[in-house]
Structure 1
């Protein structure tokens, strides 16, 4: 099983404004970046998100995930009826969740959302981290990274620069 984070961040390290707004990120969408995401998501068979990400996605006009989505939340008790087959709420720590997903045949897991990514990093359970840095400063917001009680050494795999100024860097967990 492999776990992957794929996320955009402002140059000053935020993944969203304090209220969860990502207007600053959406303005940089392009065919180039859409193709990159499409290539990434085509290899994913399950998605793990937190409550905040789930609530944000519910504001979009359409549900755009083809893969099964697992929402980690103690606050969400019910999934909208229209999404019952597409999303499931679970309350498990990262290691237990990965065991559950593995036992159910999932092998490539997309981890998304600030707190969820941070919880997987704290337990050193992210195999790949793809960060797209957006050339914008938003001043404050929801940070990508939080406190760690240990160092995590990553191996830089590649960096791509898109024509709209976005810089995507791919890292893998350094197991050595």
Structure 2
């Protein structure tokens, strides 16, 4: 059975990026001594799903940020990649998830962005939420959960406070085992 986990950072006021898609503010907590559980989480997943704008942000890094994992990029545009581990998807989220599951990939990381997260929410396809709250108020940008997101009841699995001020909360969708 497939498990989709939204693992994401957001500002204290609920934004995942600036209005222009910028995520430079995430670096305020970069430290050699702490990865905030990222390495262990990355090892636990089989595949990644992300929207095309988030994909393009990933391309701007020195190296592809999701090595050795199959990445499914949701887009209606005709994008191409030389990488064998990137698959472009134009199906509905439900159909795409069924196709991913049929490939034997079970632990899926929903990276973002906002529109794709909302599509998964609309179909109750997010099983777990790991949300790292960064101690910054952006005052505007791309919302983690835009207005008119459906109601979703969650239960807290655990939370952790870091010395940098980051607060990470791990939730499970209620009724999901």
Q: Does the TM-score normalized on the shorter chain lie above 0.5?
A: yes
Q: State the partner residue of 1:70.
A: 72
CA contact (8 A) 1:32 1:162 kept: no
Q: State the partner residue of 2:117.
A: 117
Q: State the partner residue of 1:100.
A: 99
Change (3 A) 1:162 1:56: same
Larger CA deviation: 47-56 vs 110-119: 110-119
Contiguous gaps of at least 5 residues in structure 1: none
CA contact (8 A) 2:74 2:88 kept: yes
Q: Distance in 2 between matches of 1:23 and 1:149?
A: 26
What count of residue pairs does the alignment treat as equivalent?
A: 173
Q: State the partner residue of 1:155.
A: 155
Please state how far the C-alpha of 1:33 moved relative to its aligned partner: 4.5
- Aligned residue for 1:116, secondary structure, equals helix
Q: Distance in 1 between matches of 2:65 and 2:149?
A: 35
Aligned positions of 1:12-51 closer than 5 A: 12-31=13-32, 33-34=34-35, 36-51=37-52
Q: State the partner residue of 1:91.
A: 90
Change (3 A) 1:140 1:149: closer
CA contact (8 A) 1:122 1:148 kept: no
TM-score by length of 2: 0.92
CA contact (8 A) 2:121 2:149 kept: no
CA contact (8 A) 1:158 1:171 kept: yes
Q: Distance in 1 between matches of 2:38 and 2:44?
A: 10
Q: What value does the CA root-mean-square deviation take over the aligned residues?
A: 1.4
Q: Could you give the per-residue CA deviations for residues 18-61 of structure 1, whole angstroms, max 9, x where no partner exists? A: 11111111221224542511111101011000011001001001
TM-score by length of 1: 0.93
